Structure 1
Amino acid sequence: MGMVNDTVVWFMKRRLPRIQEFMARPVETQQRMFSELVETARYTEWGMRYNYSQIRTIREFQEQVPVSTYEDLFPYIERVLKGEPNVLWPSPVEVFSKSSGTTNARSKYIPVTPESLEECHYMGGKDMMTLLIANRPDTQVFDGKGLSIGGTIHANPYDPRTQVGDVSAVIMQNLPAWGQFIRTPPLEVALMDNWEEKLEKMAEICSQENVTSILGVPTWTIVLLDRIMAQTGASSMLDVWPDFEVFVHGAVAFHPYRNLFSQKYFPSGQTYYLETYNASEGFIGLQDDLSKPGEMLLMLDYGIFYEFIPPEEVGKPHPRTLTLDEVELDKNYAIVISTNGGLWRYLIGDTIKFTSRYPFRLKVSGRTKHFINAFGEELIVENAEAAITEACAQTGAIVSDFTAGPVYMGDGSKGRHEWIIEFSQEPHDRNVFFEILDTTLRQVNSDYDAKRFQDMALLTPLVHTVAPGTFYEWMGRRKKLGGQNKVPRLSNDRKYLEEILEIISQEK
């Protein structure tokens, strides 16, 4: 299959000048995206309501069109779900991306137009290969199969003529023939409903393939790799896939899992890791430099216009938003997007920090609804993951999953944070691990440090360790196994904690 690799590499190299163009001219590229979006949608119901035909500048757009949450847009999305045309975007919508629902219990249905599928999601997949080749010109990754771990797809409950599914399943089902040829497992297995049955079949089929790459969420990839190693008796995945090159990951931060992959599954210098930021709403970022883990190039010509809300504006009825040329480095922003899928000034729910400008690179710092601020400590996911990573590095531990929430102040009692941690490799000393966790949180978050000073408002964290498989069981009970589902890292209430603690008590 050397010819296949050479052909794909030649084809993908041709895309690099386009990426270099928007890296060199980011503001102009975004201005073009803005103009094209507003022009295309001016005769939709949304465009006529907000007078798109009269909008000439970004400032006018910001003044006339409100920032919207999913709940704000849902009356319009519901009409699209029911088959009504030309509501948010002029093109017909035949498939909807269904979110994992981590921020609330109700699923979110995101319209996937032909433009967003082709010019955003597929473009991101192709550029992922292009940037991989740019970093590794001698790659032979296309001589083998790419393993894709996806979700499921079903008939739209509002209109059975159309479909809904995880964004991974939507992309997978609509791949061209050449894309299906270089991936595994077969589509009928990849899109199976029953996660346990799918896992078993994937392990059986993929262990017999020459897999050279994986695209998936780290947590679910770990479950599959453990199943394959158990089936084959392999000491590492390199016994099964000796030519394996790259793990393309997204959805959750990878650094808490890096040691697990590099020590247990792929213990050799030949394996490398590439991060993507592909949400149900659109393909946003790609790691363009393998030496900078966690940093991704903001993809600017995918039919998405970006705005950014400063932290002090989040939650206001009419927040001030910044355009790309106005952002600062190392400051948290909530992302607002307008897309060729018909989302308008949509608050996606993620927070990011820019690590460079010109070109614009970012890292995901958390979720607007995933934090702990019960005592004014403003703890975000980025803080939690940094603390877990440091504690692992100093104690030799590997954490497979964790979540945390508040213990509220009671009658005369002080508050604290409560953590539930599942280890795949125990620390040398648990107490040292817990101490480093707390110390690092104090180092990376001054508000948390102030509350922890002399136990003034917050006591030392209360930490539970749980048996392997506990988080898997919890996600199963929530019907959140597989696909793009992920464990929520932080919560400002105790709902998740109480559910997991109940499992722990039942096992005793």
Structure 2
Amino acid sequence: MKLKSFLAKPFASYVHKQIRRSSLTALQDQDGILKDLLKAGKATQFGADHKLSEVANYDGFKQAVPVRDYEGFKPYIEKIKDGKHNVLWKGKPIYLAKTSGTTSGVKYIPITKDSISNHINTARNALLTYMAETGNTAFADGKMIFLSGSPELERIAGIPTGRLSGIVNHHIPAYLRRNQLPSYETNCLEDWETKLDAIVGETIKQDMTLISGIPPWVQMYFDRLQEKSGKKVGDLFPNFSVLVHGGVAFEPYKAKLLQSIGRNVATIETFPASEGFFAFQDSQNAEGLLLNTASGIFFEFVPAAEVFNDNPTRLSLHDVKVGENYALIVNSNAGLWGYNIGDTVKFVSTNPYRIAVTGRIKHFISAFGEHVIAEEVEWSLLKAAAEEGLRITEFTVAPLIQQGEGKSYHEWLVEFEQEPANVEAFALKVDNNLRQKNIYYDDLIRGNILQPLKIKTVQKNGFVEYMKSIGKLGGQNKVPRLSNDRKLANELYKWTKQSSSV
């Protein structure tokens, strides 16, 4: 056993015990965090505007602070960008995380001296809890790759600004720097395909033991490795044992990723965002991700059906229920207050508090009142694919509205690794699964308001080519699973096999 893996064992055990103890005091920790946030927040401009000094409890907080998305927060962010102090949190942020929004264009999310540890320590804790539970510390001695954005940062009002993954890159502990790949120079490359080739060149002959990134871009890395070496990734890297993933649902990519590796490896799921590191997989033997209840974030939960209401129900951790779909609202020591991050979650356990990410608030189809969500379409497609022995590369779904009763339908654009023998029969299986999962969709089919879904197959690498065409290939960019309009679907037609429409 080498030095790093040897020293990791007692530290992992210590952190693991701390996290276990913290999971038992989640409600008290959340109450304490709200109290601390209010104490600090009353000295800010936001606090003055919302009279936080007069707020005594959670009910008062809900009256004082409305739920907002980025557009509602933008006036405060603009003041920070103009160089103002004490706007949302004391002083100025130490970073602005730059992220692409679907409706707001580029977003700038503050990261403060108080909140940076949430991003850094939670990533560390995910690995340490895995080490403590499994005893596998050997990967700490090998090379690790973190597929991330450029660590080069610009400055706005003197504040370093860039992608979250690039910001976090500056905080990787010194003892891991020698293990980290790719090089700083390669990480700074902006063009994804140039960067990918450079990453492959730097890693193909290394002893890679841990690989981390968003699943579709990890798959691209694996594909390129196989093209260059002619080997399965698991043969190329015999000591590769841990795959860390986050950003999108893993299940649609899991089969193909493991097939590219050629053997099983441990997987660790994480739930990071520019607004905070919210949850992580703390056990290989339990469902869901442990909510990060003691890391400077006070969580609220709005029933998903109410999220667009003027005055939605807002629940603290005290009142959540297993199986309900909630919009996630955060209040944090980064200076976010009543902030709707746009993701939906459901609790799979309340002892401890573990969640599953179910989709994006704006990524659903309800052209006819069906309100089909990402979790439902993923389950429906993957169940049918598993029965047929098929692997899905990527997919998206949009409504196709046509005049006349029973003529409209959901159109699924799917890139298969290998197409089903009968696309129409496969589409019917998926449709039956979706009807089983969503009673409103089932009613529309039964009532002849909609006809069963149709699948249009996308050419190999069609989604990659689409993302390249809009300048969003690589990094943290993701393909939306669901849309209420035809913009994405119509663009993807350029890469479909026209004969496959059923």
Query: TM-score surpassing 0.5?
Result: yes
* Residue type at the aligned position of 2:268: L
Matches within 5 A, 1:57-456: 57-101=57-101, 103-104=102-103, 106-118=105-117, 120-153=118-151, 155-156=153-154, 158-159=156-157, 161-234=158-231, 236-262=232-258, 264-269=259-264, 271-292=265-286, 295-412=288-405, 414-453=407-446, 456=448
User: Residues of 1 paired with 2:39 and 2:206: CA distance?
Assistant: 47
Q: 1:417 to 1:429 in 2, by over 3 A?
A: same
In the TM superposition, residue 411 of structure 1 has moved relative to its aligned partner by 4.4
* Residue type at the aligned position of 1:344: W
Q: 1:411 to 1:426 in 2, by over 3 A?
A: closer
Contact 2:150 2:190 in 1 (8 A): yes
Contact 1:355 1:362 in 2 (8 A): yes
TM-score by length of 1: 0.94
User: Residues of 2 paired with 1:373 and 1:230: CA distance?
Assistant: 41
Q: 1:42 to 1:431 in 2, by over 3 A?
A: same
In the TM superposition, residue 243 of structure 1 has moved relative to its aligned partner by 0.5
Q: Secondary structure at the match of 2:272?
A: strand
Which deviations, in whole Å up to 9, do the C-alpha atoms of 1:401-435 show, x marking residues without a partner? 10011011314563210111111233354333212
Counterpart for residue 464 of structure 1: 456
Contact 1:474 1:500 in 2 (8 A): yes
Q: 1:506 to 1:199 in 2, by over 3 A?
A: farther
User: Residues of 1 paired with 2:61 and 2:365: CA distance?
Assistant: 34
User: Residues of 2 paired with 1:229 and 1:482: CA distance?
Assistant: 18
Q: 1:448 to 1:411 in 2, by over 3 A?
A: closer
Which deviations, in whole Å up to 9, do the C-alpha atoms of 1:235-275 show, x marking residues without a partner? x101210001111111111111221122x222224x11111
Aligned residues: 500
1:494 to 483, 486, 490: 486
Q: Secondary structure at the match of 1:256?
A: helix
* Residue type at the aligned position of 2:197: E
* Residue type at the aligned position of 1:501: Y
* Residue type at the aligned position of 1:392: A
Counterpart for residue 25 of structure 2: 25
* Residue type at the aligned position of 1:248: V
Q: 1:414 to 1:426 in 2, by over 3 A?
A: closer
User: Residues of 1 paired with 2:93 and 2:7: CA distance?
Assistant: 33
Q: 1:483 to 1:184 in 2, by over 3 A?
A: same
* Residue type at the aligned position of 2:260: Y
Q: Secondary structure at the match of 2:489?
A: helix
In the TM superposition, residue 507 of structure 1 has moved relative to its aligned partner by 13
Q: 1:462 to 1:231 in 2, by over 3 A?
A: same
Which deviations, in whole Å up to 9, do the C-alpha atoms of 1:113-135 show, x marking residues without a partner? 122112x1011111111221133
Which deviations, in whole Å up to 9, do the C-alpha atoms of 1:256-315 show, x marking residues without a partner? 1221122x222224x11111111111001111221345x111110111000100134211
Contact 1:249 1:276 in 2 (8 A): yes
In the TM superposition, residue 50 of structure 1 has moved relative to its aligned partner by 1.4
Q: Matched residues, percent identical?
A: 34
